[in-house]
Structure 1
Amino acid sequence: MDDTSSQAFAPPAELKRCPIDNTFRIVGKKFTVHILRDMLYQKQKRFNEFLHSVEGINPNTLSTRLREMEKNALVERKVYPETPVRVEYNLTEKGKDLLPILEQMSAFSMKHAPEIFIDGKASSFQQVCGRNPASF
């Protein structure tokens, strides 16, 4: 490792705040990453789909997270004028830009947390998914 690897991250002078902290503020609340995961990989769009797939989430928390994600421009909320009313949430381009981050998180756990696998043996993202993680 080089000498800079052990130093704390100091944002360059032109930055107002740490970009890592900023990203964490957007996606770091409990369940936000799970909702993004289900939108990206399971193509889920509806409130009840998230309610049943996100482990341990309750309706109030889900509603709050979806509103926060909409406020942060990660999702768009579309209301269909039907009876009963149908509401769908779709990822924005900004939300889709989180795919490489989520895949790198997945690759990290596949490499360093073998307990996530049934056989208890670590594997690479490439071995499990048949491709490399997405990148920017």
Structure 2
Amino acid sequence: METMESCEVDTALEILVGKWKHKILFQLMTHDVMRFNELKRAIPGITQKMLTSQLRELESHDIVERKVYPQIPPKVEYSISEYGKSLQPVLDAMHEWGKNHTDHLNRTYAETNEQS
């Protein structure tokens, strides 16, 4: 493992960490293309301002693509970029680890209650 000075986990976490980014990525990875309001409806509790901010950050890192159609009213679609698709195994691994961790905690809690 690398030293903390050169640990690139920080770089990855800067992109992924937050209350909303992983939820946005999940939606975009399970749908080919989504419009802004579709994303907003699919993520309960996210504000328009926060969704805009998070999408811009993901776009600036080339994780999300934004396509604007020149029409009235404006039509904007979001999708995962080719580069962003490389996050899929990372997110799958995090999902699996989170599931295993929850199971572990549930087993530990059950064992503790049995001993009481």
Q: Same fold (TM over 0.5)?
A: yes
Does the 8 Å CA contact 1:10/1:18 hold for their aligned counterparts?
yes
1:78 alignment partner, SS class = strand
Amino acid at match of 2:88: L
- What is the 5 A alignment of 1:16-31? 17-31=6-20
Displacement of 1:101 after TM fit? 0.9
Cα pair distance change 1:81/1:65, threshold 3 Å: same
Amino acid at match of 1:32: K
Q: Match of 1:86?
A: 75
Q: Match of 2:60?
A: 71
- In the aligned structure 1, how far is the partner of 2:53 from the partner of 2:6? 26
- In the aligned structure 2, how far is the partner of 1:44 from the partner of 1:55? 19
Q: Quote the sequence identity (%).
A: 34
Displacement of 1:19 after TM fit? 0.9
The answer to whether 1:37 aligns with 2:26 is yes
Aligned length: 106
Does the 8 Å CA contact 2:32/2:79 hold for their aligned counterparts?
no
Unaligned runs of 5+ in 1: 115-119, 122-136
The answer to whether 1:97 aligns with 2:106 is no
Q: Which has the higher helix share?
A: 2
Displacement of 1:44 after TM fit? 4.6
Does the 8 Å CA contact 1:44/1:50 hold for their aligned counterparts?
no
- In the aligned structure 2, how far is the partner of 1:71 from the partner of 1:110? 30
Unaligned runs of 5+ in 2: 108-116
Amino acid at match of 2:32: K
- In the aligned structure 2, how far is the partner of 1:111 from the partner of 1:45? 30
| Greater RCO, 1 or 2 (C-alpha within 8 Å, sep 6+) | 2
Q: Match of 2:110?
A: none
Does the 8 Å CA contact 1:39/1:45 hold for their aligned counterparts?
yes
Displacement of 1:84 after TM fit? 1.4
Q: Match of 1:56?
A: 45
